[in-house]
Amino acid sequence: MEITQARTWAEVDLAALEHNYRALRSNLEPGCKFVGVVKANAYGHGALPVAKKLETLGAEYLAVACLAEAIELREGGIRTPILILGGTPGELAGELIRYDLTQALFDLSTARAYSQAAVAAGRELKVHIKADTGMGRLGFVGPGRVEDILTACALPGLEAEGLFTHFSDADGSEAYTMAQFTDFLDLRDALAARGRRFSLCHCAASAATLRFPCTHLDMVRPGIALYGHYPDESTVGLDGPGLIPVMTVRTRVAAVRTLPAGACISYGRTKVLGRESRVAVLPIGYADGLHRGLSSRMEVLFPQGRAPILGRVCMDLCMVDVTDLPGVEAGDVAEVFGQALPVEEKSDALGTISYELLTSVAPRVPRLYL
């Protein structure tokens, strides 16, 4: 679709992505590898175009959440190693081998299933062993984890390349994060004492990459920071040059109407005009990813200035007040969020995080790659 025909679209600035990649990379020690996290359609930005850019830039690894996301990249021509961070059932181990993927491994029973499949195929499956150090989600855990990991690593057909964990509060508690990190280092050392070493030990996602250089180890895994957003106020400016938002969502005015004082706007009549107003109808709604919770709680940006939303966000439309913005007419373009209007304004209003709004931009919103 031509953007000139689009009602609403997202511009993805690959130059900004490159800026963020280089800003983050500049803070790493020589030899520290970089995992570009492209799960969830690259946080809504488009997995394949983003992965191709990161591959060109030299990212040593890419990371996704599931097998389907990895296959999409491989079938799109991506040759960079891909780490699947989530679980893949043992019966699908053949697909992991077929597509030359690296799989996170976090329990012994699945390790045995992977081993059987790899031996049957006459191939090796590369795995990264995940330890739960306090996230309470996935990973080898408990007093028997050293023995379980050693057993898994010794299974035929498995190449245990990596050992990793995930911090739960790296954008919050330094003490808790350092406790997790210490636990991870103790585990690494205990395994090394038993003869098991790993070429890639990693635990730093965006927040730890920015806040705690001591956690960088062999490789870092930036996600949200790669797309130009800080995981928390405490991390702002720690990258040096400053991150640039990669995605800008725009929408084209469908109509501008003059309505009298007392007119009701949108479903439920939650907004009643207190004055005669010029109301612009925007073709973006919650089916496009504009959260209904932002009803009467957000603004969009025109060249002339900001315009507040009026009433409830509809499935496909919303209305904004352009009375004080002379010159706004049908066909004009408004920024919903992006480089000029931070998405964080909207996520803060909702009591959520930027990640949710970025990943919520719907597939029907075309992406334009700049």
Which active-site residues does the annotation give? 39, 267
H/E segment holding residue 357: helix 354-359
Task: Tell me the Cα Rg of the chain.
Answer: 24
Q: Are 305 and 325 in contact (CB under 8 A)?
A: yes
- Between CA 249 and CA 354 the distance in angstroms is 13
209 contacts: CB under 8 Å, gap ≥ 6: 24, 27, 215, 216, 220, 221, 222, 225
Q: Which residues is 140 bridged to in the sheet?
A: 131
How many degrees, rounded to 5, is the angle at CA 114 between CA 113 and CA 119? Answer: 100
The whole-angstrom separation of Cα 30 and Cα 123 is 32
Amino acid at 165: T
End-to-end CA distance of the chain: 15
On the CB side of 204, how many CA atoms lie within 13 Å of its CA?
A: 25
**Please, are residues 298 and 345 in contact by the beta-carbon 8 Å criterion?**
yes
Q: Which residues contact 206 (CB under 8 A, 6 or more apart)?
A: 222, 223, 224, 225, 226, 230, 231, 235
Dihedral in degrees, nearest 10, Cα atoms 352, 141, 60, 355: -10
C-alpha distances in Å from residue 342, one per residue of 32, 115, 175, 200, 291: 31, 47, 30, 35, 15
* Phi, psi of 353, deg, nearest 5: -125, 160
Q: Are strands 102-105 and 125-130 parallel, antiparallel or unpaired?
A: parallel
